[in-house]
Structure 1
Amino acid sequence: MAKVNRARSTSPPDGGWGWMIVAGCFLVTICTRAVTRCISIFFVDFQTYFSQDYAQTAWIHSIVDCVTMLCGLGFALCYSPAIAMVGKYFSRRKALAYGISMSGSGIGIFILAPVVQLLIEQFSWRGALLILGGFVLNLCVCGALMRPITLKDDQTTSEQNHVCRTETQGFQRASPSSTWTKEWVQTCLCGSLQQEYNFLLMSDFVVLAISVLFMAYGCSPLFVYMVPYALSIGVSHQQAAFLMSILGVIDIIGNITFGWLTDRRCLKNYQYICYLFAIGMDGLCYLCLPMLQSLPLLVPFACTFGYFDGAYVTLIPVVTAEIVGTTSLSSALGVVYFLHAVPYLVSPPIAGWLVDTTGSYTAAFLLCGFSMIFSSVLLGFARLAKKMRKTQLQFLAKESDPKLQLWTNGSVAFSVARELDQKDGESVAIAMLGSNPA
């Protein structure tokens, strides 16, 4: 067996170069999520230029988001690895680090929304897209900041995989056509895949995955139809872009403050509940949106929705890490963001079809709101059921504990440990031996 080269094992530093990783992830979210969400500003121009309805035009934004989450193409090669790297470098300050990293989306929207509107007015939508493309090239700089780190759990897994690969290569050289060698190779490969993706069989992760589907369906259409909806109720183009800027800057506040708050000792153990609360609040905001028919009413909506949008986005990696652990975090996040793909693809066109069919945005917004509320309620019931089952198992274990004997004398219940019975038995035996020396 070849000697295994051991990389230096370390725990998350919670600082140091980790803050550069946070800065890189911050820039990545600006160049990916912020740019994607600002495509809604192009919506009316696309619709006018190509003479298409809402449902057809919405496919532009849907395909961008879907391909980002579904394939290893484009933004996906930057977004998921950058988020996973933050989880590798932080443990105690993980929520705060993710809050700062994910706030890039809000800051990007706050800055880019009015800038993009200005670029469209000056250079048309084609020139604006060309300039945005040049801006996105800064992702190459972000990639240069990502320095790998090996943790203790990763080291153990890496050693096991290395041993498996080494043994497999040795067997293949010794007898490349042997049936036993082929079976060994297949066993090693299956073992490695099972170890990497065993979280897929965890009931908690399955429930999280289902809830993500409904949450992703609800969150996407607003960033497509916010500007068109504002224009439909008489808001000007600049004011509509201003609403997107408000949404972005409050999103930043939600990212950072919610991350900081949930890192406090009083809320550290309730990050899962905070995540559910944030998703549910966004769903309620959706339900109120059709009643808001003026700019002064849309501003509070943008503030509330933006804050809780930033809040739950920050906690997605934290909740995922709580369920699967840090060793499988990268793969688990890949699956979670992969699950965003289908809802991102279908929800804006479905919302557009509802707008075309009903002539208003009410049905589209209500469907999104109920979808997000269902996502929150599903996770809440799952956590409640898990706690009830855990309590029941603890009670049954207590009932069946051989060290604990219970009996009733009238209305008084006595509990005596078996150790006391054993001591009493030993005392009786000694007394009997003392009285009968023979």
Structure 2
Amino acid sequence: MAKVNRARSTSPPDGGWGWMIVAGCFLVTICTRAVTRCISIFFVDFQTYFSQDYAQTAWIHSIVDCVTMLCGLGFALCYSPAIAMVGKYFSRRKALAYGISMSGSGIGIFILAPVVQLLIEQFSWRGALLILGGFVLNLCVCGALMRPITLKDDQTTSEQNHVCRTETQGFQRASPSSTWTKEWVQTCLCGSLQQEYNFLLMSDFIVLAISVLFMAYGCSPLFVYMVPYALSIGVSHQQAAFLMSILGVIDIIGNITFGWLTDRRCLKNYQYICYLFAIGMDGLCYLCLPMLQSLPLLVPFACTFGYFDGAYVTLIPVVTAEIVGTTSLSSALGVVYFLHAVPYLVSPPIAGWLVDTTGSYTAAFLLCGFSMIFSSVLLGFARLVKKMRKTQLQFLAKESDPKLQLWTNGSVAYSVARELDQKDGESVAIAMLGSNPA
């Protein structure tokens, strides 16, 4: 195989081949997330053909989503690396780049929803799945666009790992059975892993991880039960597919416009808050859904939910990068999307069980809504506590020593009082020399 030329750059180029990476990620999201969400259109056909209840039929969709987020199998081999590559190529325009990339999911739903319904009517659900499988083969084209890039931080980490491997191999050749050599190898390996995954011990990332669990639980069931719910209140099959198309196209608008807005100077420092707001709004939409019993009422719901769904999906990589940095972004995103797996697996069957038990969708939708609202409130409360502690530390530092200035970087504080004292001493010494030229 031909050797891949690895582009080298000291910082993300924010353009150039990066836009081809965005285009590739855009196609990846169409072939993965859009196709997965269109399985909702097959729901009634699956339920009828296999003669199963809501809870049993929901496992089809939940297993697809779970495997994508949990393993290195199937769509996961394309989805997570494509998203991480966008983060490598963009810094200043990161939110906009992610907005365009993630909009593939909305565009895919907008186009595929009516097409899939037409394919089911013409070729049955089996033929429709075969045609979708052929479409998904375009992921091979997307992979050809992904050109590796080495940033300054990555190059430093790579050189440190290379030195570690070289020293380890030298010790193993000199004394392969030595206890000291084995301990050195273990220490080196542990150091590399700790450097790669040290973000797992950060309190901010732990809070983000917990909130992601609740957010993922709430967002998944709608794309499974949107069509069945619409059919249950008297909406036709074509109109139900039209609702999915609306959801998709507004999702695109949310991806791009919210990414562009949060890249503006006035909102650049409030991307975290915008992320919380978007999740909370989707939760409120869920709470209103049981009261919407006609197509004219479901259309505004699809617009609102679709917009904020696209908004917070765009900001997930941005918020993650803000917490862990660019160097660990790929690993951190892998963990974040991994955390989606269990909620994606259990939430549609739980919602289906609630529908089977209660005979309505109200309990299922309310549980999803409160779950997303709790996710937003949890992150907001954690950020508020962190800000209060930072303010308290600064106040205590000023009270204890007027010369003490507190510089913060995450949870670490640095004191520069000693440097100020040294500068004062140097000023006194210069003044004395000036007054005594002899």
Q: What TM-score results when the alignment is normalised by the length of structure 1? A: 0.92
Structure 1 residues 437, 299: closer, same or farther in 2, change over 3 A?
Answer: closer
Structure 1 residues 160, 122: closer, same or farther in 2, change over 3 A?
Answer: same
Deviates more, 1:342-351 or 1:407-416: 407-416
**Structure 1: how far apart are the matches of 2:271 and 2:413?**
40
**Structure 2: how far apart are the matches of 1:36 and 1:294?**
26
**Structure 2: how far apart are the matches of 1:419 and 1:196?**
33
- Check whether the contact 2:31–2:138 (CA below 8 A) recurs between aligned residues: yes
Structure 1 residues 61, 398: closer, same or farther in 2, change over 3 A?
Answer: same
User: Matched residues, percent identical?
Assistant: 99
Secondary structure of the equivalent of 2:7?
coil
Structure 1 residues 33, 428: closer, same or farther in 2, change over 3 A?
Answer: closer
Structure 1 residues 3, 165: closer, same or farther in 2, change over 3 A?
Answer: farther
Determine the structure 2 residue equivalent to 1:3. Answer: 3
1:9 offset after TM fit, Å?
Answer: 4.2
Deviates more, 1:407-416 or 1:91-100: 407-416
1:201 offset after TM fit, Å?
Answer: 0.1
Structure 1 residues 160, 55: closer, same or farther in 2, change over 3 A?
Answer: same
- Check whether the contact 1:22–1:97 (CA below 8 A) recurs between aligned residues: yes
- Check whether the contact 1:103–1:255 (CA below 8 A) recurs between aligned residues: yes
**Structure 1: how far apart are the matches of 2:63 and 2:214?**
18
What do residues 28-75 of structure 1 show as CA deviations (whole Å, max 9, x unaligned)? 000000000000000000000000000000000000000000000000
Structure 1 residues 358, 177: closer, same or farther in 2, change over 3 A?
Answer: same
**Structure 2: how far apart are the matches of 1:230 and 1:39?**
15
What do residues 106-151 of structure 1 show as CA deviations (whole Å, max 9, x unaligned)? 0000000000000000000000000000000000000000000000
Structure 1 residues 401, 208: closer, same or farther in 2, change over 3 A?
Answer: same
Instruction: Output the aligned Cα RMSD.
Output: 5.9
1:425 offset after TM fit, Å?
Answer: 13
**Structure 2: how far apart are the matches of 1:96 and 1:123?**
39
What do residues 360-415 of structure 1 show as CA deviations (whole Å, max 9, x unaligned)? 00000000000000000000000000000000011111112263799999999999
1:178 offset after TM fit, Å?
Answer: 1.0
Larger radius of gyration: 1
**Structure 1: how far apart are the matches of 2:410 and 2:390?**
32
1:82 offset after TM fit, Å?
Answer: 0.1
Secondary structure of the equivalent of 2:416?
strand
Secondary structure of the equivalent of 2:150?
coil
- Check whether the contact 1:211–1:376 (CA below 8 A) recurs between aligned residues: yes
**Structure 1: how far apart are the matches of 2:410 and 2:130?**
87
Structure 1 residues 157, 234: closer, same or farther in 2, change over 3 A?
Answer: same
- The 5-angstrom pairing of residues 47-86 of structure 1 reads 47-86=47-86
Structure 1 residues 172, 362: closer, same or farther in 2, change over 3 A?
Answer: same
1:283 offset after TM fit, Å?
Answer: 0.1
- Check whether the contact 1:4–1:162 (CA below 8 A) recurs between aligned residues: no
- Check whether the contact 2:233–2:294 (CA below 8 A) recurs between aligned residues: yes
**Structure 1: how far apart are the matches of 2:188 and 2:196?**
12
**Structure 1: how far apart are the matches of 2:12 and 2:409?**
57
Secondary structure of the equivalent of 2:413?
strand
**Structure 1: how far apart are the matches of 2:3 and 2:411?**
69
- Check whether the contact 1:9–1:155 (CA below 8 A) recurs between aligned residues: no
1:430 offset after TM fit, Å?
Answer: 15
Q: Where in structure 1 do 4 or more consecutive aligned residues deviate above 3 Å?
A: 1-9, 402-438
Structure 1 residues 427, 411: closer, same or farther in 2, change over 3 A?
Answer: farther
Structure 1 residues 218, 7: closer, same or farther in 2, change over 3 A?
Answer: closer
What do residues 199-220 of structure 1 show as CA deviations (whole Å, max 9, x unaligned)? 0000000000000000000000
Determine the structure 2 residue equivalent to 1:21. Answer: 21
What do residues 218-269 of structure 1 show as CA deviations (whole Å, max 9, x unaligned)? 0000000000000000000000000000000000000000000000000000
5+ unaligned residues in a row in structure 1: which ranges? Answer: none
- Check whether the contact 2:398–2:405 (CA below 8 A) recurs between aligned residues: no
Q: What TM-score results when the alignment is normalised by the length of structure 2? A: 0.92
1:422 offset after TM fit, Å?
Answer: 13
Secondary structure of the equivalent of 1:96?
helix
How many residues get paired? 438
